Amino acid sequence: MNRLALARADDALILGHRLSEWCGHAPALEEDLALANIALDLIGQARSLYTLAGAATGHDEDHLAYLRDERAFTNLLLVERPNGDFAVTITRQFLYSAYIDPYWRSIAATQSPLAPIAAKAAKESAYHLRHAAEWLIRLGDGTAESHRRAQTALTQLWPYTDELFDPITPDDIAVPRETWDTTVNAVLAEATLTRPDPKWQHRGGRLGTHTEHLGHLLAEMQSLHRSNPGATW
């Protein structure tokens, strides 16, 4: 099993799934379509990455998405955080995209088996980053209420950001923290938001130690598939 592809696939699927929960419920129609576009990009990335991950062992994308338990998922804790309000969703997307965008571009330039997938994903993540950054700036520098919500979201999610920088396998690449810092600090400054400085950081997603939210997400996502073993859909 390609553990690197699997973990990146899990990130994309879980975040794509979270965004898909917004469909029909976003703050405006235009934004409903935008969030669905991002979700579709992420689900598409997950499918390619699962196919790569399972190639050696003969597992297809649906086997990997639907028939593994919580402990077998190796996604970041950040991406499994519940949607919360629009500020939480946008902040989560921004923090993740600010890492994964340079990541895809870097790995696309290597000989990694992920390179072809990364080349396509990089175009998508570049837009996700811009979209989330533009919104975060507006929420941060909008009204008093939106500022408060954006700052709260940032404070809540920040303890899950260190995990972004952990290489998944010895042959994985790591985006330098300064790259991420430069992007994030510039947007936070424009958004008039304060960079949090929490006392601790949470890790564990890459080892299958998740927050309690993931189990519920998987229970919902996998329920139909699992209730009909062997069926074709």
Partner 1 sequence: MSTEITPLWEVFIRSRGGLAHRHVGSLHAADATLALQAARDVYTRRGEGLSLWVVPSNAITASDPTDRDMLFEPTASKIYRHPTFYEVPDEVGHM
Partner 2 sequence: MYSQGLNQPTEASADSPEQARFQARIDAEDKIEPNDWMPDAYRRTLIRQISQHAHSEIVGMLPEGNWITRAPSLRRKAALLAKVQDEGGHGLYLYAAAETLGVTREELVDQLLSGKAKYSSIFNYPTLSWADIGAIGWLVDGAAIMNQIPLCRCSYGPYARAMIRVCKEESFHQRQGYEIMLTLSRGTEAQKAMAQDALNRWWWPCLMMFGPPDSASQHSDTSMQWKIKRFTNDGLRQKFIDATVPQGHFLGLTFPDPALRQDPETGHWQHGEIDWAEFKTVVAGGGFQATDRLEARRKAHDEGAWVREAALAYAAKRQARKTAA
CA distance 142 to 133: 14
Judged by CB under 8 A, the residue of 138, 202, 213, 225 near partner 1 is 138
- Torsion of Cα atoms, 174 then 71 then 94 then 130, to 10°: 80
Judged by CB under 8 A, the residue of 10, 61, 101, 163 near partner 2 is 61
Region label for 200, one of left (φ > 0), alpha (ψ between -120 and 50) or beta (otherwise): beta
Region label for 211, one of left (φ > 0), alpha (ψ between -120 and 50) or beta (otherwise): beta
- CB of 220 vs partner 2, minimal distance in Å: 5
Q: Judge whether 165 and 177 are in contact, CB under 8 Å.
A: yes
CA distance 202 to 112: 28
- Torsion of Cα atoms, 138 then 217 then 225 then 11, to 10°: 60
Given the complex with partner 1, which of 23 and 109 has the nearer CB atom? 23
- CB of 209 vs partner 2, minimal distance in Å: 24
Q: Interface with partner 2 includes 143 (CB under 8 A)?
A: yes
Phi, psi of 199 (to 5 degrees): -75, -25
Judged by CB under 8 A, the residue of 8, 81, 131, 149 near partner 1 is 131
User: DSSP string spanning 49-98?
Assistant: HHHHHHTTTT--HHHHHHS--GGG----HHHHS---SHHHHHHHHHHHHH
- Torsion of Cα atoms, 99 then 102 then 103 then 109, to 10°: 180
Residue 215 binds which entry of partner 2, partner 1, none, CB below 5-8 Å type-dependent:
none
Q: Interface with partner 2 includes 17 (CB under 8 A)?
A: yes
Q: Interface with partner 1 includes 211 (CB under 8 A)?
A: no
- CB of 28 vs partner 1, minimal distance in Å: 7
Given the complex with partner 1, which of 76 and 139 has the nearer CB atom? 139
Judged by CB under 8 A, the residue of 4, 6, 14, 39 near partner 2 is 39
Given the complex with partner 1, which of 30 and 212 has the nearer CB atom? 30
The encoded tokens of residue 135 equal: 């919104």
Which residues form the interface with partner 2 (CB under 8 A)? 13, 17, 20-21, 23-33, 36-37, 39-40, 43-44, 46-47, 50, 61-62, 65-66, 85-86, 137-139, 141-143, 145-146, 149, 220-221, 223-225, 228, 230-233
Which residues form the interface with partner 1 (CB under 8 A)? 28-31, 33-34, 37, 127, 130-131, 134, 138
